[in-house]
Structure 1
């Protein structure tokens, strides 16, 4: 959270879920509620509040540049109800239209890719440093070793080039949104 707040640019790859900065309240609640072992309701409520507070980053006068690649599984995996997914995918489309955000979808048709082993971020910090953040179940790890950070940056570049362009990604998301909308009728 602190790294995101200080970053000039964030490059984020997600395999399993919509990035926390883009999650609607109901989607985030469903994600947090799916954890195992289950957390107390008070802890889930606290984590939800923190996740939603992080999103104020998007309303800053000078937000960081965000380049996000999500795996198609993020769109296909129903989190909560069809209504929750419809709202969440609508939110993704709104966010993708923001001038400081680029959102791409990596379709299953691309097959194996450079990050089959997990989600990660590369953050260009305001002090000129670049760090990476790798997610593991229940937590994450900040990576500062320059060689490892460089490898993550190269990996993100490979993902970005394999993903659909932003405009085609928007249409791809729209198709899944319509699928979920049809399930609610």
Structure 2
């Protein structure tokens, strides 16, 4: 039997499992210091780093390892173009982040699709979500907005999110087009 475990995500922000090194640190402390997350235009990591922040980044890195383990789940991400265009952390961090996304996109079990700004389907304007599909367990939907998150196992909501995700995949750039856009965007940060 084929493994049907997988993730499908739609987001206007970068899902934690997709963050590069600089943004892993930034996302943990969005309310501290100069700039967003204690970062300035030229810093790659805010200081000082506390135990809680270290633990959160370690947890995020462990979750990211799921994508590169021996038998990773099939994953599909539809990311809003703003993920590439909003220069969080400055040019150096953004180059590293885009490189990280391109690296993920080259994995045979990961799809990264970009939803262009001009694609205005109502589904694309909604909030982000992650669908979690399991071979031997109930499928779930994870929703996060404004610092509040929910994990739901309601079959109707999971089904609706799956239908919405199919709409998003149809509207987003193809995998190859998305990689090309990421490469072009990367050059803009150099």
**Structure 2: which 5+ residue stretches go unaligned?**
39-48
Q: Which residue of 2 aligns with 1:138?
A: 147
* 1:43-58 equivalent positions in 2, closer than 5 A: 43-58=52-67
Q: Which residue of 2 aligns with 1:29?
A: 25
Q: Which residue of 2 aligns with 1:148?
A: 157
Judged with a 3 Å threshold, the aligned counterparts in structure 2 of structure 1 residues 117 and 35 are, in CA distance, closer, same or farther, namely: farther
Q: Which has the higher helix share?
A: 1
Deviation at 1:136, TM superposition (A): 2.0
Whole-angstrom CA distance in 2 between matches of 1:58 and 1:123: 14
Deviation at 1:128, TM superposition (A): 4.5
Let me know the Cα RMSD of the aligned residues: 2.0
* 1:17-166 equivalent positions in 2, closer than 5 A: 18-35=14-31, 41-166=50-175
TM-score, structure 2 length as denominator?
0.84
Q: Which residue of 1 aligns with 2:10?
A: 13
Whole-angstrom CA distance in 1 between matches of 2:148 and 2:171: 27
**Structure 1: which 5+ residue stretches go unaligned?**
1-6
Q: Which residue of 1 aligns with 2:46?
A: none
Runs of 4+ in 1 over 4 A off after TM superposition: none
Deviation at 1:35, TM superposition (A): 3.7
